[in-house]
């Protein structure tokens, strides 16, 4: 009958071997942590950029809707609804605009020869870094975007005979509201928090040229 011999080493790890194992473990843990930090920072930046772009598009879509509706009126009346009210620099200018329209009573009805219903007399302006929309006949004051760095409106008329447009200066806009065919809107929004790598806020700008559907051109 054969006897099996079991070899064993009761000496264990030496101090040098233990230090080598610990050093390698620390290196692996450091590499894993560095990879996690890099991935987390990149994910945070991408999330902030997506949030800025989403806020920018949402605010621009709201402004676009109102500008396209500006000047809408009942086809049964001769009363003209001016699309833009520019009697003072406070009502309409480079970074603010007053829009008027006759959309009906808000219950799916036809225009009713007035601009006293919800969303028929609105005012956009920038206060600090908040883009505010005031519905004078409805919900009142609403902040539709934050961290707004700039907001600019430019007003254009279009000459069908020449097929070209020309900018209407702000100083000569009062009295020429009915000549407005297009409005250029430019908006810049920055991220709420800075980039963890650069320490700088990320900004995105959106420009849009919007045609007034009720301008008659």
Predicted pLDDT of residue 75: 62
Of 35-39, 69-73, 82-86, 126-130, minimum mean pLDDT range: 35-39
What tens digit of pLDDT does each residue of 151-172 get? 999 999 988 777 788 999 988 8
Of the pLDDT bands very low, low, confident and very high (cuts 50, 70, 90), residue 199 is confident
Quick one: average pLDDT of 123-134?
95
Tell me whether residue 4 is in a domain: no
The whole-number average pLDDT for the span 21-26 is 83
In this predicted structure, which of 40-54, 92-106, 185-199 has the lowest mean pLDDT?
40-54
Higher pLDDT: 109 or 194? It is 194
Q: What is the pLDDT of residue 56?
A: 95
Residue 108 pLDDT class (50, 70, 90 cuts) = low
Domain range enclosing 126: 42-211
pTM of the model: 0.76
Confidence at residue 142, expressed as pLDDT on a 0 to 100 scale? 95
- Residue 132 falls within a domain, yes or no? yes
* Total domains, the chain: 1
Task: Flag whether 165 is in a domain.
Answer: yes
Identify whether 30 is part of a domain: no
Which residues are within 8 A (CB) of 216 and not within 5 positions of it... i.e. 6 or more apart?
none
Does a structural domain hold residue 13?
no
Confirm whether 12 is domain-assigned: no
Could you tell me if residue 33 is inside a domain?
A: no
**Is 34 a domain residue?**
no
């Amino acid at each position: 009958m054969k006897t099996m011999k079991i070899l064993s080493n009761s000496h264990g790890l030496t101090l040098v071997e233990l230090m080598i194992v610990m050093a390698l473990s620390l290196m692996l843990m450091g590499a894993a942590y560095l990879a996690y930090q890099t991935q987390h920072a990149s994910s945070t930046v991408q999330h902030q950029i997506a949030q800025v772009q989403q806020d920018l598009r949402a605010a621009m879509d709201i402004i676009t809707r109102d500008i396209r509706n500006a000047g809408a009126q009942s086809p049964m009346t001769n009363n003209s609804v001016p699309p833009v009210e520019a009697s003072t620099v406070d009502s309409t200018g480079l970074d603010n605009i007053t829009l008027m329209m006759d959309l009906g009573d808000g219950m799916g009805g036809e225009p009713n020869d007035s601009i006293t219903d919800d969303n028929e007399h609105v005012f956009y302006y920038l206060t600090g870094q908040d883009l505010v929309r005031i519905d004078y006949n409805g919900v009142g004051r609403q902040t539709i975007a934050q961290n707004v760095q700039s907001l600019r409106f430019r007003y254009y008329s279009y000459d069908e005979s020449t097929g070209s447009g020309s900018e209407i200066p702000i100083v000569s806009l009062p009295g020429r509201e009915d000549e407005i065919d297009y409005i250029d809107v430019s908006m810049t929004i920055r991220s709420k928090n800075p980039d963890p790598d650069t320490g700088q806020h990320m900004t995105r700008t959106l420009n849009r040229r919007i045609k007034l559907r009720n301008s008659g051109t």
